[in-house]
Amino acid sequence: MTYVIGAIVGIAFGALVAFLKNIFIWKKYGEFDPSDGGDPAKASDIYIRSMVSFAVNVATLLVVFLLREKLPFSFVACIIGTAAALATLNRIFARRQIKSDPDQVGDGKK
C-alpha cells in the first residue's frame, strides 16, 4: 500500500509542478499574436525557457530526493510518479498549445 500512496503523491506533486511551470514559463510564449505588433519569440527566448524548464524539473526531483528520509511512503514510487507526471503533462500541455494555434508551429506546412 505504501507504493500506491507514494505513486499517487508523486503523480500529484509532479502534476502540480508541471501545471505551474506551464503557466509561468510557457503560457506567455503560447499567447503571442503577430497581429498585435509584438515581437515574435526569438530562438534565444525559447532556449532560455527550455533551460529554466529543465532546471525546474531537476529541482522538483531533487526536492523529492532530499525528502526521501522523511517520506512515510515509498520513495521509489514517489520519484517515479513525479518524473512520469512531469514528462507526461509537459507533452500534453505542449500538444494542447499546438492544437489551439497550429499556425505557430514551424513544420513547413501552410
Confirm whether 43 is domain-assigned: no
Virtual CA dihedral for 107, 84, 14, 42, nearest 10 degrees?
A: -20
Confirm whether 64 is domain-assigned: yes
- Specify the number of domains making up the chain: 1
- pLDDT tens-digit map of 40-91: 567 778 888 889 999 999 999 999 999 999 989 999 999 999 999 999 998 8
The pTM of the whole model exceeds 0.85: no
Per-residue HEC secondary structure of the chain comes to CHHHHHHHHHHHHHHHHHHHHHHHHHHHHHCCCHHHCCCCCCHHHHHHHHHHHHHHHHHHHHHHHHCCCCCCCCHHHHHHHHHHHHHHHHHHHHHHHHHHCHHHCCCCCC
Q: Is the pLDDT of residue 27 over 90?
A: no
Domain that holds residue 86: 2-28+49-99
Confirm whether 69 is domain-assigned: yes
